[in-house]
Amino acid sequence: MNSSHGFSSIVHLNIGGKKFCTTVDTLTQREPDSMLAAMFSGRHTVCQESGKGYIFVDRDGKHFRHILNWMRDGVVPLLKDSEYLELMREADYYQLLGLIDGIKAALSKKKEDEELGSELTRIDIIKCIQSERVRFRGVNLSGLDLSKLDLSFVDFSYACLKNVFFSRANLQCAKFRDVDAEASIFHNATLRECEFTGANLHGALLAGANLQSANLQDACLIDCSFCGADLRSAHLQTADLTNANLEGANLEGANLKGAKLSNANLKGANLQRAYLRHVNLRETQLEGAKLDGANLLGAIR
């Protein structure tokens, strides 16, 4: 990894089995506050695969070429909406804030170009929430950027919220009953005591969100990311958490009665005093999870 003759060091990366070759300059200059920049800043020791010379990162390598091209020339690729959301998850993991903003702008422009915008705009939403009681029941808000807004106590029940950006929004006590919020972004949002009963959150990003005492009963949470989320005392009865990532999440006192946890990642999660009676944990990853005081009567392990 040492450079010579003033040229940048060559770096060989193995991202989830896909091999890439780049330079330290590429990984550190465009986004100096990213995780990749920190890894190759020289402040940390980076381990290589024994005898192979590759540095392994345990992430899906499908979109890493787009990340490298962004780091090289700052261009956001043209992708389908679903692929943009996949790339957004990877950009969030690597803490590439510039790329995240670029993806948001690309999605917004794509919506306008295709004339598939929602029934309301962000400005319309801001005007609405200035009134005392706000209801968007059954409204199509798909693709809107509602990040950082105070949307506490708003009723979104039965609305179409596909691909909506709620990052860092205050949604305390908001109602999301039976909404279609597939692939929406709730990163670091405040969702305390929210109601998501019967909601479709397939593939949604809720990493770092505060979901204390939230009601997610019967919700579709397949492929959701709850990494580091606060789910203390949350209601997750009969929720489908298949393939969900709850690594490091706090589920202390949560009720998971009847929840589906097939291939769910609960590594390092806090499950102290959680209700897990008769839950099938056979295909659940529980390495390092805290289970002190959890009710595991009849659980399959």
d(CA 214, CA 211): 5
> Residue 68: enclosing H or E segment and its boundaries?
helix 64-73
76-90, 101-115, 254-268: range with lowest mean pLDDT: 101-115
Please check whether residue 242 is in contact with residue 260, taking contact to mean a CB–CB distance below 8 angstroms.
yes
More confident residue, 5 or 18: 18
Cβ atoms within 10 Å of 95's Cβ, excluding its own:
15
Q: Which residue has the tokens 């691909």?
A: 163
Estimate to the nearest angstrom the gap between the alpha carbon of 15 and the chain centroid.
19
pLDDT at 133: 60
pTM of the model: 0.61
Provide CB contacts within 8 A for 4, sequence distance 6+.
Answer: none
Question: Average pLDDT for residues 116-128, to the nearest whole number?
Answer: 69
Of the CA atoms within 13 Å of residue 299, those in its CB half-sphere come to 20
DSSP string of 189-205? Answer: -B-TT-B-TT-B-TT-B
Count of residues in the chain: 301
SS3 of 19, please? strand
Across the range 110-119, mean pLDDT stands at 58
Domains in the chain: ranges and CATH: 10-113 (3.30.710.10)
Average pLDDT over residues 83-94: 92
Give the model confidence (pLDDT) of 251-299 as tens digits: 999 999 999 999 999 999 999 999 999 899 999 999 999 999 999 998 8
User: Quick one: pLDDT band at residue 135, thresholds 50, 70, 90?
Assistant: confident
Residue 112 has pLDDT above 50, yes or no: yes
pLDDT of 1? 46
Please determine, for residue 245, whether its predicted confidence score (pLDDT) is greater than 90: yes
| Terminal Cα-to-Cα distance of the chain (whole angstroms) | 44
Q: Residue 64 phi/psi, 5° resolution?
A: -65, -25
pLDDT above 50: residue 96: yes
Phi, psi of 300 (to 5 degrees): -95, 120
The residue ranking higher by pLDDT, 180 or 301, is 180
What stretches of the chain adopt beta strand conformation (E)? 10-15, 18-23, 55-57
Whether pLDDT at 48 is above 80: no
**pLDDT (0 to 100) of residue 124:** 77
Determine the Cα–Cα distance for residues 95 and 209; give it in Å rounded to an integer. 16
With CA atoms as reference, report the closest residue to 228 among 114, 122, 93, 134: 93
**Banded model confidence at residue 7, pLDDT cuts 50, 70, 90:** very low
Would you state the structure tokens that stand for residue 298, as one six-digit string?
A: 């009849």
Choice among 51-60, 65-74, 86-95, 203-212 with the minimum mean pLDDT: 51-60
How many Å apart are CA 200 and CA 132, to the nearest integer?
28
Task: Give 6's pLDDT tier (boundaries 50, 70, 90).
Answer: very low
Instruction: Please state the rounded mean pLDDT for residues 20-34.
Output: 92
Q: How many helices (H) and strands (E) does the chain have?
A: 6, 3
Could you tell me the pLDDT band of residue 131, with boundaries at 50, 70 and 90? low
**Selection from 184, 24, 206 nearest residue 107 by Cα:** 184
pLDDT of residue 50: 64
| pLDDT on residue 4 | 37
The whole-number pLDDT of residue 65 equals: 94
Residue (of 27, 31, 22) closest to 42 by Cα position: 27
